[in-house]
Amino acid sequence: MIFLHPVAAVGRSFLALLAIIGRVTLYLGATLSHLVRPPFYWREFLSALMTIGYFSLPVVGLTMVFTGGALALQIYSGGARFNAEAVVPQIVAIGIVRELGPVLTGLMVAGRVSAAIAAEIGTMKVTEQIDALVTLSTHPLKYLTVPRVLAATIVVPVLAAVGDTIGILGGYLVGTTRLGFNAATYLQNTADFLEAADIVSGLVKASVFGFIVALMGCYHGMNSGRGAQGVGRATTNAVVSASVLILASNYLLTELFF
Amino acid sequence: MIELHDVHKAFGSNQVLRGMTLTIPKGSSMVIIGGSGTGKSVALKCILGLIRPDAGTILLDGQNVAQADRDPFLARFGMLFQGGALFDSLTVWQNVAFRLLRGALKRPKEEARAIAIEKLRRVGLTPETADLYPAELSGGMQKRVGLARAIAADPEIIFFDEPTTGLDPIMAGVINELIREIVTEMGATAMTITHDMSSVRAIADNVAMLHAGKIRWTGPVADMDASGDPYLTQFITGSAEGPIEAVR
């Protein structure tokens, strides 16, 4: 019956996936339940706002300025095939605000923050700091997960908004210095073309991505294995799962909005 | 008084506790000894509710700990962890005063800091250490901070998990002395887990030896050397020859 082994392997993987989905769902439920019950740890929340938001600004800014510039070049080059070079400002704006801004911000924050959260909480688990929290009458979920998840949900849209602006600026710089667009016209076209719904949908997406990033970081940190290898694996799993969930939820949200 | 009755705990196929029964009288210092992997830490974590036993009952002053209201229950305990388990992101005084800065025992910040500094002084650390971070301290100092945190809220019961592991003999002696002094002056019930026989002699009123998931021998520390139990004798003398297998 050796020919059945691949089928069994697929079955085992599927069951393992269902088990993980179940555990993450329970963790999500517990997080939401603690979110609405006191106490709330303000100091940890403010600290998470700084760590997730402020310190991610450089990486998000750099990512978006280059992306905006490259997008302007690509649209110009593609548009030239059917004499539509003039649409560069509009397409850069809509591409950045609706799609690339929130998704790239989410992915960059996933790489930077999800890994850091998983490593920090995983190390706390390995060094018995999580047990110490419990013995000090402090619920680890309330103290570690809730402030980070809430902070990321609030601050990633802000990061995305800053990223959107910088991305559009990148397109503007390339458009005006390399592609011969008039500066005032470029900005006017960008402003005229964008609608409030474009901006709001992008920020809602970013908020969902922030929630995913922090939740995956905390979940994998809390479920980290023993030793350096266990923490390393938790870190990798946090980044991979957050990135995949961001891309999957981006598609679902896009279907929902448009 | 802490009572464990026929407590069982397994992790997968690994049966760690196989019917552990032990009584720790109020105000006494019980030291549990035993080889690595015999379930000492698991027993301690079962009492605290960090691990749920598979079977058996654990009573604290006659009340089943599984049914106890968690916050008031945990407020009665202080614990010194093996590696200190200090929170890296907080300063020394914030670690010590952790319980006094939040929750039911919350005090004003200045009062909490003053208590933390007093507890640090009690374990032989100067007020200058209060604003350092744990990573800036030596292993011995971290243990002392952990001890100060364990006693910060004046608990009725204090657990010490391998309090001298990783310390040089002099520092180990200092920590042992501190534990004995603090337990005596606070009148607390203490439960210590250790492999270190010098700790046993310095800290214990009573000793229990855990082997193969059960209490093999228990009695006053003064009776330990003359127990006649071959397992206990082998453990005390550290001999490779005897009923306890050297390779486990």
Alpha helix stretches (DSSP H) within chain B:
40-48, 70-75, 92-96, 109-122, 139-151, 169-186, 197-203, 230-237
Give Cβ neighbours of residue B88 (< 8 Å, ≥ 6 apart): A129, B133, B134, B135
- What pLDDT score does A1 carry? 59
Q: How far is A125 from chain B (nearest CA, A)?
A: 9
d(CA A243, CA A31): 20
C-beta atoms of B50 and A138 within 8 A? no
Q: Among B98, B143, B193, which would you mutate to test the A interface (most chain A Cβ atoms within 10 Å of its Cβ)?
A: B98
Among A242, A158, A239, A166, residue whose Cα is nearest residue A202: A158
Both structure tokens of A42: 């303000």
Structural domain total, chain B: 1
**CB atoms B71 and A39 under 8 Å:** no
Percent of chain A scoring above 90 in pLDDT: 84
Q: Is B99 contained in some domain?
A: no
Residue B143 lies in a domain: no
Closest-CA distance of chain A to residue B235, Å: 27
Is A136 close to B74, i.e. CB distance below 8 A?
yes
Tell whether the model's pLDDT for residue B39 goes beyond 70: yes
* B35 band by pLDDT with thresholds 50, 70 and 90: confident
Closest CA to A138 of B80, B105, B90, B135: B105
B76-89 pLDDT tens trace: 999 999 888 999 99
Beta bridge partners of B29: B190
Contact (CB<8Å) B81/A131? yes
pLDDT of residue A3: 64
Q: Which residue has the tokens 């093999």?
A: B216
Does residue B27 lie in a domain region? yes
Beta strand pairing call for B14-24 and B2-11? antiparallel
DSSP B150-181: HHTT--SEEEEESTTTT--HHHHHHHHHHHHH
Residue B41 within any structural domain of the chain: yes
Least confident of A113-127, A241-255, B5-19, B232-246: B232-246
- What ipTM was estimated for this complex? 0.85
Q: Over range B94-115, report the average pLDDT.
A: 90
Residue A115 CA to residue A181 CA, distance in Å, equals 41
Residue B173 maps to a domain:
yes
Task: Classify strands B206-211 and B63-64 as parallel, antiparallel or unpaired.
Answer: unpaired
Cα A188 from Cα B222, distance rounded (Å): 90
> Is B119 within the bounds of a domain?
no
Q: How far is CA B37 from the centre of its chain?
A: 16
Mean of the pLDDT values across residues B201-212? Answer: 92
3-state secondary structure A128-173: CHHHHHHHCCCCHHHHHHHHHHHHHHHHHHHHHHHHHHHHHHHHHH
Distance of CA B65 to the CA centre of its chain: 18
Tokens of B25: 């009288």
Q: Say what percent of chain A tops pLDDT 70.
A: 98
- CA atoms lying within 13 Å on the CB side of residue B170: 1
Is the separation of the CB atoms in B91 and B133 below 8 Å? yes
Mean pLDDT over residues B93-119, rounded? 91
In angstroms, the CA B43 to CA B49 distance is: 10
B143-162 mean pLDDT: 91
Name the phi and psi angles at B246, rounded to 5.
Answer: -70, -35
Rg (CA), chain B: 18
* Domain coverage including residue B64: 2-76+159-237
Asked if residue B245 is part of any domain, the answer here is: no
Rounded-to-integer distance, Cα B190 and Cα B202, Å: 13
How do B214-220 and B206-211 pair as beta strands?
A: antiparallel
Give the model confidence (pLDDT) of A154-205 as tens digits.
999 999 999 999 999 999 999 999 999 999 999 999 999 889 999 999 999 9
Best of A42, A43, A135 to disrupt the B interface by mutation (most B CBs within 10 Å)? Answer: A135
Integer Cα distance of B95 and B88 in angstroms:
9
B134, two tokens: 């744990």
The CA distance from A159 to B76, in Å, is 44
- Please determine, for residue A218, whether its predicted confidence score (pLDDT) is greater than 70: yes
**pLDDT tens digits along A22-75:** 999 999 999 999 998 888 899 999 999 999 999 999 999 999 999 999 999 999
Of A39, A128, A138, the CB nearest to B81: A128
- Note whether residue B153 is domain-resident: no
Distance of CA A2 to the CA centre of its chain: 43
Which domain CATH number covers B179? Answer: 3.40.50.300
